[in-house]
Structure 1
């Protein structure tokens, strides 16, 4: 007996294969037509004069128009707004004619009821085998979400710009207010003292912050004058409050008892009691008394943790008036201050300054300017009085540039040198 494998015959043979191919082709045609009509974007084909020859359902629904009213009856430009037509004529159509295609152009189309719809349009000219233009195929993308997004971006940018302008305005007003407040913490101008020349300068490191440097010159009794210069720790409103309290206390204490050590001790008591809890505040200061006498001025001063005063003598030399050991003001309940006396003769100048000057950063190594450099600079200036010395120091501060990152106050006193008498020597006749 012979064994074999039975195989079922293929039903239909070539006839079934032909039917399957026909069905597949039909499905493809139906799918292509459906994709065209129900695509998420609009499609239309126009003749070269712009007459609409074919348009899909999606675009008709956007427009709210019937196909019978559009195909063969309307041109592409009839779908556009007035502005869109103008842009099409001046830019879109010439560019399409020159390049054969245009991509992603923003236009507005109008619906049957006149509503506007932002769209992005891409058009391409179809040409024959002989390179003759046959028709224009156009794709229209809904740009409403994009337009809304762009509008939101524009609104946000305008809001940000307005906020920036408002911030600039507020900053200018703040700087004006700070400048006014800063000036209220300093004398508007130094008083005139008989037999004495005085000059001052204040450098603000940041116009956005109140500085803590302060100085003053005011009369006492029987021809005596009191002065002070100092530096409150920190910046801003808190430092300004301490500065105001310090200036008031120094003035009031000096009118009661002008002894420099006593005045600074009173200030120490006030600051320590006021800021003894939590937010500790302190300052450095020099307080002194000027007592004119004949052709000279006696100086009696005391220092509390402040850089020593510098004296430029009439002979061109310069040196510090030592006040070692003076303690910070306001830190401890009981402190000791260092007093010193000197005499200013004609041509001598006494210079007081805050540490913004000596702690400025200079040179490639950003080193501290320092006391020695200040003494050498002062000795290098002609002994022409307080105003000349302050002017020279003002120029020095400007040359520091961004190396000067702290407020700096300068105060100078001096006895004017007698004017030189010009002697006229007649020229002998020959």
Structure 2
């Protein structure tokens, strides 16, 4: 179509009318200002933001109308007029004079208006983002409350402190995943049965959140209730399995390793059983050798019948028992080429051998530090470690 057909008589009036319609119906506040920063053109949305009718805005500056927020806006307007460069997405917060008790938030952009390369005024586009800002603040506050609740709930699933043991020292480490405001499924416990025997427990319940927390609590307290009547580890874990099955949560598997430690003169006798959990490791003080204790058994919370086998060994003075969750060996990171590296059991054995001769606290700290460094400080899963070192004597 030839240009003459498009630009027929009255085409400027048509374009101007269309432009006016766009300004008047735009969902944003739109204003035009002269070089003295006086309102020249105001659309209904911007008038509503000011809380004043259009006729009361025209010919007046923002500072005359609203001294606080208007004065702040004028400073930005003047910078744009002086520099000739726009400013985009500038946050503004304040109250307008017609609504002094109503704090509002705006997102504004300022553009110089030119004619023949000369700046003759200013155009302002303003979006009221009060609702979005208040929603974001409310969401942040809600997340913080949930995070604190999650931390309180998680701490209730762990022993408040570890007892002082005769003939051994103990230490524990628990690190939640890097995900915020979640309750993990890893847990540990140490139950003092009498002055010379203790039950050590570590476990991992599938999932996170309230359901995992409920199953974790059920498993932990089922163990504590069971050992009141028996120290047969297989019977103890059968009780846990029955409790979990009665809960009936879908996809709620649980792995647990239990070790009964008994001090006899200058040594510690161990009986261990694992229900689908990574096997405990024993570090020999004399050689630095690290060996698994026991054999894998059935997962808990799936089938009524479980197959578990008990293993035994003895700790001499300086020997160390380490129980851990798969957050240790399955820790991983992705390198710059996209290759995923896993911490693995051999790496764990190497760390333990290097910690030979250290206290229980030092051994646990060595594992935690190695895993954290391996993952560059980012934890995709919970991490729990429980360590017992035989000290000899009573």
RMSD between aligned residues: 3.5
The structure 1 residue matched to 2:363, chosen from 384, 389, 399, is: 389
The reply to whether residue 405 of structure 1 matches residue 380 of structure 2 is yes
**CA offsets, 1:24-56, max 9 Å, x none?**
xxxxxxx99xx99xx8699xxxxxxxxxxxxxx
- The answer for the alignment partner of 1:296 in structure 2 is 267
Distance 1:297 1:121, change over 3 A: closer
Q: Following superposition of structure 1 onto structure 2, how do residues 316-355 of structure 1 map, counting pairs within 5 Å? A: 316-355=287-326
The reply to whether residue 265 of structure 1 matches residue 238 of structure 2 is yes
Give the Cα–Cα distance (whole angstroms) in 2 for the partners of residues 319 and 255 of structure 1.
32
Distance 1:177 1:295, change over 3 A: same
- The answer for the alignment partner of 1:225 in structure 2 is 198
Give the Cα–Cα distance (whole angstroms) in 2 for the partners of residues 225 and 297 of structure 1.
10
- The answer for the alignment partner of 1:202 in structure 2 is 174
Relative contact order higher in (CA < 8 Å, ≥ 6 apart)? 2
CA contact (8 A) 2:279 2:296 kept: no
Instruction: Extract unaligned runs of 5+ from structure 2.
Output: 1-8, 21-40, 42-56, 65-70, 85-110
Give the Cα–Cα distance (whole angstroms) in 2 for the partners of residues 241 and 181 of structure 1.
10
CA contact (8 A) 1:204 1:407 kept: yes
Q: Following superposition of structure 1 onto structure 2, how do residues 17-56 of structure 1 map, counting pairs within 5 Å? A: none
Structure 1 residue 377, shift from structure 2 partner: 1.9
Q: Which moved more, 1:163-172 or 1:321-330?
A: 321-330
Distance 1:81 1:335, change over 3 A: same
Q: Following superposition of structure 1 onto structure 2, how do residues 5-84 of structure 1 map, counting pairs within 5 Å? A: 81-83=59-61
CA contact (8 A) 1:230 1:284 kept: yes
Secondary structure at the counterpart of residue 256 of structure 1 = coil
The reply to whether residue 356 of structure 1 matches residue 327 of structure 2 is yes
Distance 1:252 1:189, change over 3 A: same
Q: Following superposition of structure 1 onto structure 2, how do residues 119-134 of structure 1 map, counting pairs within 5 Å? A: none
Instruction: Extract unaligned runs of 5+ from structure 1.
Output: 1-30, 43-58, 60-78, 100-119, 126-137, 419-430
**CA offsets, 1:341-395, max 9 Å, x none?**
1111111110000011111125743132221221122112232121111111121
Q: How many residues were matched structurally?
A: 299
Q: Which moved more, 1:339-348 or 1:361-370?
A: 361-370
**CA offsets, 1:225-277, max 9 Å, x none?**
112101001111110000000001000011110111111111112212331xx
The reply to whether residue 236 of structure 1 matches residue 209 of structure 2 is yes
CA contact (8 A) 1:357 1:397 kept: yes
Question: What is the TM-score when the length of structure 1 is the normalising length?
Answer: 0.62
Structure 1 residue 335, shift from structure 2 partner: 1.0
**CA offsets, 1:273-318, max 9 Å, x none?**
331xx62422110112121121111111211011111111112423
Secondary structure at the counterpart of residue 383 of structure 1 = coil
The reply to whether residue 368 of structure 1 matches residue 349 of structure 2 is no
